[in-house]
Structure 1
Amino acid sequence: MSIDHILASNDLGPTITIGEILVEIMATETGNGFSPPLTFTGPYPSGAPAIFIDQCAKLTNNAGIIATVGKDAFGEINVNRLQQDGVDISAISVDTHLPTGSAFVRYRDDGERDFVFNIVASAAGKIVKNQNTDTLIAKAGHIHIMGTLLSIPGAWEMAEYAINVIKSRGGTLSFDPNIRKELITDDVFTQRLAYLLGKTDLLLPSGEEILTITESSNLTDAVKKTFAAGVIEIVLKQGKEGATSYHRNGKTVSGQAFQIKEIDPTGAGDCFGATYVSCRRLGMSLNESLTLANAAGARNVQFTGPMEGTSTLKELHKFIQNTPRKI
C-alpha cells in the first residue's frame, strides 16, 4: 500500500467516531485538588471524540458522531456546537433520565491536571444502537476509535459492529489509545486491544502510550510489535516536540512543532489526530498532513476550552504562515 494512500478517500463516506460527549468546567486558578471552594469557568463543549469530530467537520464537512447526551442545557450546548461546525448529529441520542456527562478540571502548578469525571453514570455512558446509528455507520468511509470507548458499557459492541461494516466496504480505522497502564491487566480489555490493533490502519499514540499497549521497554520494539499486529502507520504525538510518522515500509518522517504560548492543552491531541486523519483522507501528502496536524494542535492550546480552538483549513494556513517552528 502506498504511504500516501493508507486511509480511505473522503469520497467513500464520512469519518465517524463513537464515544463520550461532555461539558468541561475548569478551575480558574492552579493548585492541587478541588478544595477549598474554587471559582470555575465554563461549561465548555468537550469529550475527546466530540473534539475530534468537530475538528474533522471543520476541515471536511463530512463527519458524524454516535453518542448520547442528557435532555438538559449541557447537552444542548454540545449538540448546538457540533451542528454549527458541520457535524452530522443524527446519531446523537437524547436520554431523558440521565444528565449529560461532565468533567471538572483543575491545573496543577507543574502543568498536570486533576479531574473529576462523570461519564459511565451519565448519558455519555449509555450508547445505544438504533436506526440512526445504523444509517450513519452504513455510509461511513472511516472510523476513529479512542481508548476511552473501551470503558463505556455497550460502546464496545457498537464499535465492533461499526468496524466490521466499514472495513467490509473498503473503509479504514484509526485508533488513539489514550489508555491507562492499570487497565492492561484486565483480560477482556487486552483482548479488545489486540482486536483493535489487528484492524487498525493508523495508530495515533501520545508519549509513552505505545510502550504501554505493546508492553515494550523501548520505542524500537514497540514499533516492531505494532506493525506485527497489523498496523500500517504509526503517528507518535510528541507534544512540544512535534510528531513522528513511522510507516510499515520502513519510512520515518518527523514534523516540527510550533513555538506558541500554551493556555489550555486539553484537546490538542484530538485536534492533531482529527487534522491528520482528515488531511490524509483528502489526499494530502504525509509531510503536509503532519504540518497541518501540528498546527491544529498548537493553535488549539491558545484557547481556553478544549473545543474553542478547532480550526478551518484557512485558519491553519494563516497560523502556519505567522507562527515560527521549533528548531
Structure 2
Amino acid sequence: MLLIVGEAIVAYQRDVTADSDAPYTGPWASGSPAIAAYVAGRLGVPVSFVGGVGRDPLGKVMADGLAAGHVAIDRLAVSDDAPTATAYITYRGEHREFDFRVAGTAAARVTVADLADLPERAAWLHLSGSALIFGEPLASTALTALARAHAAGARISVDPNVRPEALDPASRAALVDALRLAHVLLPSEGELEALGVDAGALVAAGATVCTTYGAGGASVAGASGTTHVPALAGEPVDTDGAGDAFAAGFIAAALAGADPVAAARAGVRVAAAAIRTEGPMTVVPDPALLAG
C-alpha cells in the first residue's frame, strides 16, 4: 500500500494567455499530494490518502475525485466547522500564478490520530514538501507518518515541491531532514540547490535522485551513474500536477519491480498523458504505460 499524507485543495483555474477575461473553470479536486494519490490509484496501486476537507460541497468534490482514482479515503478528516481549502490558478503562457485560500480551512486539520496504523502498514510513503507549508497540525502529522513508515521499513520518496521562501526555518530544516531519509528524491530542476542540499551526497548515501526538467525530460542519478530520460513530444493542454503525475508513475512502476531508470521512463509517459488532459485529477492513465 502507498500512503500519502497532505493537503486537499479544490482548484479553480483559468488561462489568460490569449484572453484576459477568460473565466475560471472548476471546481477541480486538486492539491499536490492528492493528485499523486489519484494518479497512482488509477495505475492500479493500492493507495491510502490522509487529508482534511470540510463537510461542504467542495469537500464532496475532493472525496469524489479521490474515489474516482480508487484511493482509500476512510481516513479523510472531515471537519464540521472549517471549510474545504481552495486555490485559484491563473496561467499566463508558461507562467502560473497561485492564490491559495487555505488559512482557517480543514486542509491543515489533520492529526496523528487520523493516521491510525497506516504508516506501519505502508510499503511506500510519498511526501510532497507542500504539505509542510499550510500549517499545523498537518505538517507535523505528515512528518510523523514519514518517520513511522521509515522505521517500519517502508520505501520513502520525497518531492521537495515547495519554494524555499515559503518555508519558515523550522519547516525548511524538517524538509531537509526528510530528504535525507528518502530512498527516492523527485525534485524539479534547481530545487535541491535552492534548499542547500547536495544531490551528490544523497546519491553517495544510497538514494536515487530523479530530477525533472519539464520539456527537458528527467535525469536519474544513482549508484551506477546518471541517465537522461527524454520527454515525449506533444502539445500540453494543462500542466497542473504534471510533476505529481510523474511521481505517481515512477512509484507505481517501482512498486511493480522496475529499476529507477525504467520507473522514470514510466513517469515521463504518465506525465505526458496527464498534461494532455484538462484538470489536475481527471486523467485516466493506462496501466500499460508502466511497462511500455
Shift of 1:231: 5.6
**Cross-structure match for 1:169:** 152
Q: Superposition pairs for residues 250-269 of structure 1, below 5 Å?
A: 250-269=224-243
Shift of 1:127: 1.3
Aligned match for 1:64, one of 40, 43, 48: 48
Aligned match for 2:213, one of 213, 223, 238: 238
Q: Distance in 2 between matches of 1:39 and 1:212?
A: 34
Residues 1:23 and 1:279: Cα distance change in structure 2 (over 3 Å): same
The question of whether the paired residues in 2 share the 8 Å contact of 1:198 and 1:231 is answered with no
Q: Which amino acid aligns with 1:227?
A: V
Specify the SS of the correspondent of 2:50.
Answer: strand
Q: Distance in 2 between matches of 1:119 and 1:286?
A: 35
Asked which structure has the greater CA Rg, the reply is 1
Give aligned pairs, total: 291
Specify the SS of the correspondent of 2:112.
Answer: coil
Residues 1:129 and 1:226: Cα distance change in structure 2 (over 3 Å): same
Root mean square deviation, CA, Å: 2.2
Q: Distance in 2 between matches of 1:106 and 1:83?
A: 27
Shift of 1:168: 2.2
Aligned match for 1:227, one of 163, 183, 203: 203
Q: Which amino acid aligns with 2:70?
A: G
* Deviations 1:218-249, CA, capped at 9 Å, x for gaps: xxxx3224336x461100011101111001x2
Residues 1:227 and 1:284: Cα distance change in structure 2 (over 3 Å): closer
**Cross-structure match for 2:181:** 199
Shift of 1:67: 0.3
Give the TM-score normalised by the residue count of structure 1. Answer: 0.83
Shift of 1:179: 2.3
Relative contact order, higher structure (CA 8 A, sep 6+):
1
Specify the SS of the correspondent of 1:303.
Answer: coil
Shift of 1:128: 2.0
Shift of 1:134: 1.3
The question of whether the paired residues in 1 share the 8 Å contact of 2:45 and 2:252 is answered with no
Q: Distance in 1 between matches of 2:138 and 2:196?
A: 23
The question of whether the paired residues in 2 share the 8 Å contact of 1:91 and 1:136 is answered with no
* 1:301 aligned onto 2:275: yes
Specify the SS of the correspondent of 1:26.
Answer: strand
**Cross-structure match for 1:6:** none
Residues 1:70 and 1:37: Cα distance change in structure 2 (over 3 Å): farther
Q: Distance in 1 between matches of 2:264 and 2:164?
A: 27
Aligned match for 2:96, one of 113, 129, 132: 113
**Cross-structure match for 2:16:** 29
Q: Distance in 2 between matches of 1:289 and 1:265?
A: 20
Q: Distance in 1 between matches of 2:51 and 2:139?
A: 13
**Cross-structure match for 1:323:** none
Segments of structure 1 that go 5 or more residues without pairing to the other structure are 1-13, 216-221, 321-327
**Cross-structure match for 1:88:** 72
Specify the SS of the correspondent of 2:35.
Answer: helix
Shift of 1:37: 6.7
The question of whether the paired residues in 1 share the 8 Å contact of 2:185 and 2:210 is answered with yes
